[in-house]
């Protein structure tokens, strides 16, 4: 079997299209009428709480099982009508990479080349290419069993890259890794997006936010958010919050802050610094009181130890959307 030519797409071209897709298990609807598309060069984070339909969606995208209704196409190939051609354009890294632990890295990748239908005379070049991308050229002859979790993740990504698929689906790519290994995988994903579309699923939302250009959030089988990361963090309904640490009398400082126009609520708490207090100051939309606040506290001889606008995290937005959903 010879692999068909991969479809070469320009940056920004549509790679994956999911249209009106639902999945039912008997009377249970796991995914209901979802629609989204992915473009070349995007890194898209797919998020959802347990039971949200995330795993079902990924299984349909990877061709593991078909949708009940709707269509899924990848690089122009329909998963139902052209399943083999569809799957040749997809690379998948499950949470636990499927590796033969008694093989060497090179033996594992030769096996995957064979399984994916790569002509034998192209195996050497293809293995060198994917090992170079994943930075494992120097460990090709090592037994996989002896290698760290980080290296096993890289081997899993290498085998997902064989055949130059247009879409990479990475399920929990940093699970169980130490901080240095997480940084390495993050850098690898950044490099891969130049030539691939990447979809990432993870429960570590900070990791998804750090590498993704866009976030899709599922809740109870439906899409509740589909936005670029920056837009999603700015779309929260909550008002801006200014965090402040002041050396001085807690009640007196709180009263001064409360009387400033634009301040809607002041929350005060103990600070780890001696004789200091921490304040969360909820502001009206578009209000910035920092200059006025600094002058007012200086006028009353109170020292500002630290001040910053509190930023929304992806965790904050995720919880807010789930509660609304």
For the record, the structure tokens of 245 come out as 């640490």
Tell whether 150 and 178 lie within a shared domain.
Answer: yes
Tell whether 208 and 304 lie within a shared domain.
Answer: no
Domain count for the chain: 2
Tell whether 227 and 251 lie within a shared domain.
Answer: no
Where are the alpha helices (H) located in 62-148, listed in sequence order? 83-88, 105-115, 123-134
For residue 116, the domain's CATH number is 3.40.50.300
Q: Mean of the per-residue pLDDT values for the chain? A: 89
Q: Kindly tell me if the per-residue pLDDT of 5 is higher than 50.
A: no
pLDDT in tens, 70-129: 999 998 899 999 999 999 999 999 988 999 999 999 999 999 999 999 999 999 999 999
pTM of the model: 0.77
For residue 252, the domain's CATH number is 3.30.70.60
91 within some domain: yes
For the record, the structure tokens of 159 come out as 């085998």
pLDDT in tens, 151-202: 999 999 999 999 999 999 999 888 778 888 888 888 888 888 888 899 999 8
pLDDT in tens, 269-303: 999 999 999 999 999 988 899 999 999 999 999 99
Tell whether 156 and 204 lie within a shared domain.
Answer: yes
3 within some domain: no
* Boundaries of domain holding 105: 14-234
Classify residue 182 by its DSSP letter.
H
Tell whether 203 and 129 lie within a shared domain.
Answer: yes
Q: Which of 205, 234, 263 is the last residue in one of the domains?
A: 234
Contact 290, 307 (CB under 8 A): yes
Classify residue 322 by its DSSP letter.
H
């Amino acid at each position: 079997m010879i692999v068909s030519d991969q479809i070469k797409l320009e940056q920004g071209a549509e790679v994956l299209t999911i249209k009106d897709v639902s999945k039912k298990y008997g009377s249970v609807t796991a995914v209901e009428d979802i629609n989204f598309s992915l473009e070349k060069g995007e890194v898209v984070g797919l998020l959802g709480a347990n039971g949200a339909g995330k795993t079902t969606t990924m299984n349909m995208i990877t061709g593991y099982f078909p949708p009940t209704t709707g269509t899924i196409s990848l690089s122009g190939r329909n998963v139902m009508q052209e399943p083999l051609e569809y799957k040749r354009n997809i690379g998948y890294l499950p949470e636990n990479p499927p590796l033969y632990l008694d093989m060497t890295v090179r033996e594992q990748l030769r096996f995957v080349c064979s399984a994916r239908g790569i002509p034998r005379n192209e195996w050497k070049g293809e293995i060198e290419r994917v090992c170079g991308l994943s930075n494992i050229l120097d460990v090709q002859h090592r037994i996989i069993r002896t290698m760290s979790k980080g290296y096993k993740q890289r081997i899993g990504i290498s085998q997902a890259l064989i055949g130059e698929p247009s879409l990479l689906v990475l399920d929990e790519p940093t699970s169980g890794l130490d901080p240095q290994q997480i940084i390495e995988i993050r850098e690898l994903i950044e490099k891969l997006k130049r030539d691939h579309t990447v979809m990432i699923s993870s429960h570590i939302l900070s990791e998804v936010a750090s590498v993704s250009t866009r976030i899709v959030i599922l809740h109870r089988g439906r899409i509740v958010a589909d936005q670029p990361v920056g837009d999603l963090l700015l779309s929260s309904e909550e008002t801006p919050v200014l965090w402040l640490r002041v050396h001085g009398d807690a009640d007196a400082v709180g009263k001064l802050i409360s009387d400033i126009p634009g301040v809607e609520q002041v929350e005060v708490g103990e600070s780890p610094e001696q004789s200091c207090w921490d304040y969360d100051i909820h502001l009206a939309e578009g209000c910035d009181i920092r200059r006025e606040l600094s002058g007012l506290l200086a006028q009353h001889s109170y020292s500002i130890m630290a001040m910053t606008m509190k930023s929304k995290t992806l965790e904050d937005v995720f919880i807010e959307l789930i509660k609304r959903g």
